[in-house]
Amino acid sequence: VAGIVTLTTDFGVRDPWVGTMKGVILGINPLVRLVDLTHEVERHEVLEAALALEAAVPFFPHGTVHLVVVDPGVGGERRGLVIAAGRDRFVGPDNGLFTPVLLGDGWEAFELSAPQYRLPAVSATFHGRDVFAPAAAHLALGVEPERFGCPVRDPVCLPWPAARRTPAGVAGEVIHVDRFGNLITSIRAGDLPLDPVVQVAGRSAPVAHAYGSAAAGQLIGLVGSSGRLEVAVTEGSAALVLGVDRGAPVAVSSGSRSSPKK
Amino acid sequence: VAGIVTLTTDFGVRDPWVGTMKGVILGINPLVRLVDLTHEVERHEVLEAALALEAAVPFFPHGTVHLVVVDPGVGGERRGLVIAAGRDRFVGPDNGLFTPVLLGDGWEAFELSAPQYRLPAVSATFHGRDVFAPAAAHLALGVEPERFGCPVRDPVCLPWPAARRTPAGVAGEVIHVDRFGNLITSIRAGDLPLDPVVQVAGRSAPVAHAYGSAAAGQLIGLVGSSGRLEVAVTEGSAALVLGVDRGAPVAVSSGSRSSPKK
Amino acid sequence: VAGIVTLTTDFGVRDPWVGTMKGVILGINPLVRLVDLTHEVERHEVLEAALALEAAVPFFPHGTVHLVVVDPGVGGERRGLVIAAGRDRFVGPDNGLFTPVLLGDGWEAFELSAPQYRLPAVSATFHGRDVFAPAAAHLALGVEPERFGCPVRDPVCLPWPAARRTPAGVAGEVIHVDRFGNLITSIRAGDLPLDPVVQVAGRSAPVAHAYGSAAAGQLIGLVGSSGRLEVAVTEGSAALVLGVDRGAPVAVSSGSRSSPKK
Chains linked to A by 3 or more Cβ pairs within 8 Å: B, C
Least Cα distance to B196 among B184, B185, B208, B186 occurs for: B208
Amino acid identity, position C86:
G
Distance from CA of A78 to the nearest CA of C (A): 10
Q: Which residue of C has its CA nearest to B12?
A: C14
* Of residues B112, B74, B120, the one with CA closest to residue B90: B112
User: C121 to chain A nearest CA, in Å?
Assistant: 31
Residues of chain B neighbouring C132 (CB-CB closer than 8 A): none
Tens digits of residue pLDDT in B54-78:
999 999 999 999 999 999 888 778 9
Question: What pTM value is reported for the model?
Answer: 0.92
Closest-CA residue to A252 (of A168, A132, A188, A189): A168
Nearest CB neighbour to A75, from listed C33, C178, C212: C212
Q: Best interface-test mutation with C: which of A14, A44, A122, A126 has the largest number of C CBs within 10 A?
A: A14
Across the interface, whether the CB atoms of C125 and B179 are under 8 A apart is answered no
Mutate to test the interface with C, among B37, B51, B54, B230 (most CBs of C within 10 A): B37
CB C19 to CB B33 under 8 A?
no
Contacts of B13 in chain A (CB under 8 A): 13, 36, 38-40
B125–A211 CB contact, under 8 Å: yes
What gap in Å lies between CA C33 and CA C22, rounded to an integer? 10
Query: Is the CB of residue C9 less than 8 Å away from at least one CB of chain A?
Result: no
Per-residue pLDDT of chain A (262 residues; tens, 9 = 90+): 579 999 999 999 999 999 999 999 999 999 999 999 999 998 889 989 999 999 999 999 999 999 999 998 887 789 999 999 999 999 999 999 999 999 998 999 999 999 999 999 998 889 999 999 999 999 999 999 999 999 999 999 998 888 999 999 999 999 988 878 999 999 999 899 989 999 999 999 999 877 666 788 899 999 988 889 999 998 899 999 999 999 999 999 997 654 444 3
Q: B236 to chain C: nearest residue by CA?
A: C43
Of C12, C19, C20, the CB nearest to B179: C12
Which residues of A fall within a CB distance of 8 Å from B20?
Answer: 37, 55-56, 59
3-state SS, residue B255: helix
C72 touches chain B (CB under 8 A): yes
Task: With beta carbons under 8 A apart, name residues in chain B contacting A179.
Answer: 11-12, 14-15
Which of B55, B174, B63, B79 lies closest to B131, judged by CA? B79
Spatial separation of the C-alpha atoms in residues A193 and A170, rounded to whole Å: 8
pLDDT per position as a tens digit, C131-159: 999 999 999 999 999 999 999 999 999 98
B13 contacts in chain C (CB < 8 Å): 13
Q: DSSP string covering C121-185, please?
A: S--SS-HIIIIIHHHHHHHHHT--GGGGS-B-S----PPPP--EE-SSEEEEEEEEE-TT--EEE
Distance CA B168, CA A262 (A): 67
